[in-house]
Structure 1
Amino acid sequence: MTWRLRRAGIADLEGIMDIERATFPADAWSAQTMAHELADPNGFYIVAESADGELDGYAGLLAPAGAEDADVQTVAVVERARRRGIGRMLVTALLAEADDRGALRVFLEVRADNPSAQQLYRTLGFAEVGVRRGYYQPEGVDAIVMRRSASRGEPAEDPA
């Protein structure tokens, strides 16, 4: 199966929220929060759409133009489509947009109990730079903070 990546819009809100609630049942964003994210000019949200028009994933980036730092806000793929490269496609597109907007570094948080996502991010050049204890609520799961530097920026690893 193939997917087409495209910019997400408010018309995608219902499909995105279906994926959001299924992927993050304990801490899903509200539809109001997601609508705000989709409309934010500093944001960049994309969806992975299958040939039959189904949304199989989405991802979002916060990257004000000209800012040195960008943040991957969220990445989610429906269960039936996981392990097929959609997550990699989505994150790669976010990284390209961060580069286009002039970001030198891209940050993200990933659940400490999600080794598959951590490995994906490592293969895309992210390195662990910290931990946020109890970040994911209500479960209290730690977040691993990861950073990827642009090729024109400093190395991903901290020199200290």
Structure 2
Amino acid sequence: MWKLLHKLKSAMVYDADREFYSKVFPDSVEPRDLLRLRKMDHSDLPGVMAIETVNYEFPWTEGVFKDCFRAMNYTNWICEAPDETIAGYAIISVVAGEAHIMNISVNPAFQRQGVGRKMLEHLIEYARPRAETLFLEVRPSNPGAIHLYRSSGFREIGIRKNYYPAKNGKEDALMFALDLVPML
């Protein structure tokens, strides 16, 4: 049922010209422009878990993802390739004028192709009318993500000591923030 609804939704926002030109003139369309963002549903969990377990030494459990569906202030997103492969996923929480990126992860087959940036841009635009500031944490051992966040306008605001589980104990988290309301 959910797959059928997603296909109907995709059909309604389908860009025939972009799809046509991407096939006839492959260099005319950026691959990331063919990616679609949609709300995550329970049927996506096997694909999400496959990405989560390959990307992280200490992955979230399926139960954590199910809790994200139940939490009223969480919104869970899938970034989908034209062939319906899950290219990535992202989870954001918005409460009391603040937004927090809880998880953002890219399928290894799609890394370094703009998927992370596309999801991040989507989360920023999603949060903008709902929050004044967007926060996130990142491991210092993840320079690619740090570069993405800095190049997207996030600024480092602090450190959370012993935040992440690590092979030899705990790893700190760098805290980042992005102001969503223009400063006067």
TM-score, structure 2 normalization: 0.77
Q: Which residue of 1 aligns with 2:69?
A: 38
Within 5 Å, give how 1:135-146 maps onto structure 2: 135-139=163-167, 140-146=170-176
| Backbone CA RMSD of aligned residues | 1.4
In the alignment, structure 1 residue 147 sits paired with structure 2 residue 177: yes
Structure 2 regions of 5+ residues with no counterpart? 1-30
In the alignment, structure 1 residue 50 sits paired with structure 2 residue 78: no
The CA distance in 2 between the partners of 1:153 and 1:20, in whole Å, is 37
Cα distance, 1:41 vs structure 2: 2.2
Decide which of 134, 137, 143 is 1:115's aligned counterpart: 143
Provide, for residues 83-107 of structure 1, a one-character-per-residue CA deviation record: whole Å limited to 9, x for no partner.
1110011111111111132x10111
Q: Secondary structure at the match of 1:151?
A: coil
Q: Secondary structure at the match of 2:112?
A: coil
The share of aligned pairs that are identical, in percent, is 31
Q: Contact conserved, 2:133 with 2:181, CA < 8 A, in 1?
A: no
The CA distance in 2 between the partners of 1:27 and 1:70, in whole Å, is 24
Say which structure is richer in helix: 2
In the alignment, structure 1 residue 83 sits paired with structure 2 residue 112: yes
Provide, for residues 62-116 of structure 1, a one-character-per-residue CA deviation record: whole Å limited to 9, x for no partner.
113xx22111000100112111110011111111111132x10111000101111
Moved over 4 A (4+): none
Q: Contact conserved, 2:51 with 2:108, CA < 8 A, in 1?
A: no
The CA distance in 2 between the partners of 1:79 and 1:114, in whole Å, is 15
The CA distance in 1 between the partners of 2:141 and 2:74, in whole Å, is 27
Q: Name the larger-Rg structure.
A: 2
Q: Which residue of 2 aligns with 1:8?
A: 40
Structure 1 regions of 5+ residues with no counterpart? 155-160
Q: Which residue of 2 aligns with 1:95?
A: 124
Structure 2 residue identity aligned to 1:104: E
Q: Which has the higher contact order (CA 8 A, sep 6+)?
A: 1
Decide which of 53, 59, 62 is 1:28's aligned counterpart: 59
Q: Contact conserved, 2:159 with 2:174, CA < 8 A, in 1?
A: yes
The CA distance in 1 between the partners of 2:36 and 2:86, in whole Å, is 10
Structure 2 residue identity aligned to 1:125: G
The CA distance in 2 between the partners of 1:117 and 1:32, in whole Å, is 25
The CA distance in 2 between the partners of 1:100 and 1:93, in whole Å, is 12
Q: Which residue of 1 aligns with 2:7?
A: none
Number of residues of Structure 1 aligned to a counterpart in Structure 2: 150
